């Protein structure tokens, strides 16, 4: 089963960390967040990856070209003028990474549609190249298979942006949690499982946002299910997010490291 990772956005909200590379190349510890994410999937047995590139795509291709393994240019696919492949070890696991330039301005739905030929007529994983979690991918797949829908999304409780206070009846503070998981509703944490019929919902438009019309139509057709995940999940949208992930990694308390 292939894993598709969306790596083409401009990452404008995290330019104060790095403005000369795409967000998936920003480091957590000594390696890019993308490397951590691929390694996490690989440890669950997913070893074939398709990266949907866009902004500064050449820097991601160049990064893999300098890793231990083999890199090569691939024959162009329809709508994919630049196509590269890396075969090598990632976190101790042999992986194959296909990098497809899906265009600078393409939105998420357009990027996914363009790599259809690279995925083929099979179930595939899908996520964003800037988020980490300790979601159990084996259980996620089992949930998807049991529910027999076209699309499964991992529903997470996002970390609160503010400190949580515990107080007694006299408003004396009895506890403080700097960044707890929110206790309200769930949001999409990425980590999707998709059936190939998902491509039927992707119109040939560069401005097609996967999270809007396509998913709304899939929901309307009652073809989407949620896998609830209550443990660790963290995207890297801002400097504070980047700082938090690095603190967790350096302290040896990184839940995504298996």
List of residues 6+ apart from 206 with CB closer than 8 A = 103, 105, 106, 107, 110
Query: Domains in the chain and their CATH numbers?
Result: 2-156+185-250 (3.90.550.10)
Q: Residue 79: pLDDT above 80? A: yes
Q: Is the pLDDT of residue 62 over 70?
A: yes
The predicted model gives 12-20 an average pLDDT of: 72
114: nearest Cα among 151, 74, 150, 80: 80
Task: Give the percent of the chain with pLDDT over 70.
Answer: 90
CA 65: distance to chain centroid? 21
- List, for residues 164-193, the tens digit of each pLDDT value: 556 667 756 666 565 555 555 789 999 999
Rounded to an integer, what distance in angstroms lies between the CA atom of residue 192 and that of residue 21? 26
Q: Where are the alpha helices (DSSP H) in 89-238?
A: 108-114, 116-119, 137-147, 213-220
Torsion of CA 71, 7, 32, 20, to 10 degrees: 100
Measured CA to CA, the distance from residue 216 to residue 236 in angstroms comes to: 25
Task: Quickly list H helices, 96-238.
Answer: 108-114, 116-119, 137-147, 213-220
Q: Residue 76 — pLDDT band, cuts 50, 70, 90?
A: confident
Asked if residue 152 lies in contact with residue 225, where contact means CB atoms within 8 angstroms, the answer is: yes
What six digits make up the tokens of 94?
């042999």
Distance CA 178, CA 180 (A): 6
Q: How many CB atoms neighbour CB 247 within 10 A?
A: 12
Contacts of 255 (CB under 8 A, 6+ apart): 133, 134, 231, 232, 248
- What is the average pLDDT across 123-149? 97
> Is residue 27 classed as helix, strand or coil in its secondary structure?
strand
Predicted model pTM: 0.90
What confidence tens digit (pLDDT) does each residue in 199-230 have?
999 999 999 999 999 999 999 999 999 999 99
Phi-psi bin for 107: left (phi > 0), alpha (psi -120 to 50), beta? beta
In this structure, are strands 224-229 and 151-156 parallel, antiparallel, or unpaired? parallel
Specify the 3-state DSSP secondary structure of 161. coil
Cα of 146 vs its chain's centroid, Å = 23
Instruction: Residue 191: name the closest of 249, 246, 129, 244 by CA.
Output: 129
Check: CB of residue 90 under 8 Å from CB of residue 41: no
* Mean per-residue pLDDT, 151-172: 74
Q: How does residue 99 score in pLDDT terms, banded at 50, 70 and 90?
A: very high
């Amino acid at each position: 089963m292939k894993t598709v990772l969306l790596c083409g956005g401009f990452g404008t909200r995290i330019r104060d960390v790095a403005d000369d590379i795409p967000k998936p190349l920003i480091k957590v510890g000594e390696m890019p967040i993308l490397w951590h994410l691929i390694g996490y999937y690989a440890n669950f047995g997913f070893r074939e990856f398709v990266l949907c590139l866009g902004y500064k795509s050449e820097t991601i291709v160049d990064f893999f070209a300098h890793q231990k393994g083999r890199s090569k240019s691939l024959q162009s696919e329809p709508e994919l003028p630049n196509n590269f492949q890396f075969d090598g070890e990632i976190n101790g696991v042999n992986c194959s990474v296909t990098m497809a330039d899906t265009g600078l301005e393409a939105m998420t739905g357009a990027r996914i549609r363009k790599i259809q030929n690279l995925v083929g007529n099979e179930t595939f994983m899908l996520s964003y190249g800037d988020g980490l979690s300790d979601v159990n991918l084996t259980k996620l797949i089992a949930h998807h298979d049991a529910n027999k829908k076209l699309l499964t999304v991992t529903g997470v409780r996002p970390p609160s942006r503010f400190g949580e206070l515990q107080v007694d009846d006299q408003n004396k503070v009895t506890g403080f949690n700097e960044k707890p998981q929110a206790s309200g509703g769930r949001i999409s944490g990425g980590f999707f499982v998709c059936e190939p019929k998902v491509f039927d919902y992707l119109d040939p438009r560069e401005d097609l946002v996967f999270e809007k019309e396509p998913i709304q139509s899939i929901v309307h057709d009652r073809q989407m299910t949620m896998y609830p995940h209550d443990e660790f999940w963290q995207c890297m949208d801002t400097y504070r997010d980047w700082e938090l992930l690095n603190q967790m990694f350096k302290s040896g308390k990184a839940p995504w490291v298996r």
